[in-house]
Structure 1
């Protein structure tokens, strides 16, 4: 039985990975998550997933490591986690009444094999009023979330449609992660 480690402290990723039925441990590496100059969201999330997976692999050489990173892309910009209420309001103003992309990079690796993928989902936001923003901020839910919202929570009321993987927007695209994990476990047996 492979020793699987999820390289994340995200409770949402933990809950999603549990749905695949594997037993796993959690170890969250401390890495630099700075965006490189000119880096696009899809490249950024895959790079971070790979860096996280390597950091954990270096510590647990015989493990199968699963790492992921999620960010929003809008107009060539990466929208990460809000640094303040004002920052969240700025992001929501950009997202209001528009579609944006959510990208998750997933890396599954052993000491001998590395598989990674980027999954994209298009999310549409309704037009948000200042009152909507104030009410949503008051819930506390936006803190620590890419794009300052959680689709699996209260923010769902502001999202009329998505095109693509729902679990990707939550933080771990299950279909793709299951395939990568299956492929790497098959190779390591």
Structure 2
């Protein structure tokens, strides 16, 4: 159960995910679960995200006790342009290439998140076959369309460095909003974590007995 005495462990160093969970009022500890995020030959987006989130979950389990936390949440986000997975750009040149590819087109942002309970008992309660490490795992997809960007806009935005640590080389919550003409689906999913679906999953698994917790604290 998530409360002030048993905070949620976010197994991610992403400041965007931390901000989303903090805004939701969830007691939180943060410990980045470092794993190899390199794609494998022939691996599609669904398989990649499942593998990486389960690896992050395993890594976060080893950090939980030292962090003084109970339940665990991990996530990974990919940008898909057609069948191509766009991860974080290697450098500014790579960022410009990604932005040119996205210009004037629709792409998808996939975020997969996984939740584990406060102890190993959650293994037996896994929500579906193949999720023996998680109480709940889910992938949320948002469609995003960029307007046409000229070369000057691409170069100037890439030079800000804002998108260098983000899948697809842009930040919808920052300067990168200038490029986004339309979204279909969860906005927070594009930022890095689908808030609606995460809260619903925490409630469904019994890890949040009540929400918002601020109401529970004031009652």
> Do they superpose with TM above 0.5?
yes
3-state DSSP class of the match of 1:94?
A: helix
Structure 1 residue 32 displacement after superposition: 0.8
The residue correspondences of 1:81-120 to structure 2 (distance < 5 A) are 81-110=88-117, 111-113=120-122, 114=134, 115-120=136-141
Partner of 1:141: 162
Structure 1 residue 187 displacement after superposition: 9.0
CA contact (8 A) 1:53 1:109 kept: yes
3-state DSSP class of the match of 2:29?
A: strand
Is 2:48 the counterpart of 1:27? no
TM-score, normalised to structure 2's length? 0.80
Larger-Rg structure: 2
TM-score, normalised to structure 1's length? 0.93
3-state DSSP class of the match of 1:12?
A: helix
Structure 1 residue 47 displacement after superposition: 2.4
The residue correspondences of 1:1-189 to structure 2 (distance < 5 A) are 1=3, 2-60=6-64, 63-110=70-117, 111-113=120-122, 114=134, 115-186=136-207
RMSD: 1.7
The number of aligned residues is 188
Instruction: Give the Cα separation in 2 of the matches to 1:174 and 1:187.
Output: 14
Instruction: Give the Cα separation in 1 of the matches to 2:30 and 2:206.
Output: 18
CA contact (8 A) 1:82 1:148 kept: yes
CA contact (8 A) 2:75 2:193 kept: yes
Cα separation, partners in 2 of 1:132 and 1:187, compared to 1, 3 Å: closer
Cα separation, partners in 2 of 1:186 and 1:31, compared to 1, 3 Å: closer
Give unmatched runs, 5+ long, in structure 1: none
CA contact (8 A) 2:79 2:107 kept: yes
3-state DSSP class of the match of 1:60?
A: helix
Instruction: Give the Cα separation in 2 of the matches to 1:186 and 1:131.
Output: 48
CA contact (8 A) 1:41 1:72 kept: no
